[in-house]
Structure 1
Amino acid sequence: MARQNFIGLVVSQGKMHKTVKVRVQSKTYDKKINKDVLRRKDYLVHDEGNLCKEGDIVRIEAIPKISARKYFAIAEIKVDKGQQFALYETLAKKKVAEEEKSLVNEFINRRNELETTINKVEDLKILDRIVNKAKNSSETDRENLVKEINDIKQKYNIKSWPNVEPVLDLDISKASKDLSIIENRYTHIHKILETLMSPEYNDKKVEILTQVSKKDIEDLKPNVQKNLLRKFILDPKNECPVSL
């Protein structure tokens, strides 16, 4: 006798070992309303190789009972849409991780540049003090001070002091501000995303997603929406949509 077969959609995967939930849809005639109606039934199905993903269309086949609720097994994967979704999700996570790593590296580099500039300012202030002190010091002290002066001048390739040529670019206000913004938003990124994904901020979320994505917002999954929002928030050129 032929075994019972159904074609269904995998609606849940990964919650139980070697088990997926498959939804089977069938059409039956309802005598009460005198018309055909669609019936849906979910089956727990044995997946020996843990191959199925959510979204796959599969053929399931009856087998001897494994447990009280599991008496079907995966016989064939008809359409592996779930595998494509899983691959897309993996690539999306990888891309987001790379973007976040790039932003963190950029932040670290700019912070190091800022620290270097601050150290240089402090050294130049010390140089200025030493030069003034050397004028009124004894011969022995003057030799030590001159050595310190020459060390600082050599460190920054300064030929003479006071120097009429520009030694330091102090236009760091914008960089410092951007670093502060990025650091603050990165620290509170989870809180900002949770707030934007809440119903009361739906209009703001739609406005941002419309601006950054060419796709219809209804077609974007929640994890994709979060990734787009994260990218928008961590850009210091954009105004933070949530007050911190």
Structure 2
Amino acid sequence: MRPSKVGVVISQGKMQKTVKVRIQNTNWNRHVDKYLVSYRNMLVHDELNKCREGDVVRIQYVRPLSPKKSWAVAEFIKLKGTSWVKYLEEIPAQVQKEELEKLEEFNANNTAANISNSSLTSAFANLELPADTIPHLSLDKFDTKISKIEKEIELRDRIDAETHRILDEEPQLTAEIAGSASNPSIKKNLVRKYVKNKIHKEE
């Protein structure tokens, strides 16, 4: 029976019907008192030119075909060299999914910011009165509205700060609040709702 070895194709296409196969050997080293792994690269004959880098093959000894080539591919054990095809099929869908998640998060944040800005703008707009009524405007009422708006802004900033703190510093609490939710924007909204309710209870 002819000698055979199992190795991995590390280079192909540079020479006609020839590939380079890396063979792994394990040898006992008495100086360190353990087995050491060593590698040997061999030129191997590939009659059908079907080997690809990454393929695991069994090679067999044959009559010397050249001064440096006396082994030939006898069997394909694993066609790992073609695994990139599956990668090319799956990666576009994965990239599209990630882009959609980022887009949803961006839209959610943008919508929240627009709503917040719109609310503040509307609140200040409500303070504007016709010119002929300005002399009759009560300064106390004006101060009350300003104070109310300032409190709303302060409350919003407080909720935002506490929400970011929990998300950044308390992963266990975040997990308890968010449950099985995996979308970052959904997690943020759930934590924000939790913080808002907590602050209202304290007040």
> Which has the bigger relative contact order, CA under 8 A and spacing at least 6?
2
Query: Counting strand residues as a fraction of each chain, which structure ranks higher?
Result: 2
Give the structure-2-normalised TM-score.
0.42
Give the structure-1-normalised TM-score.
0.35
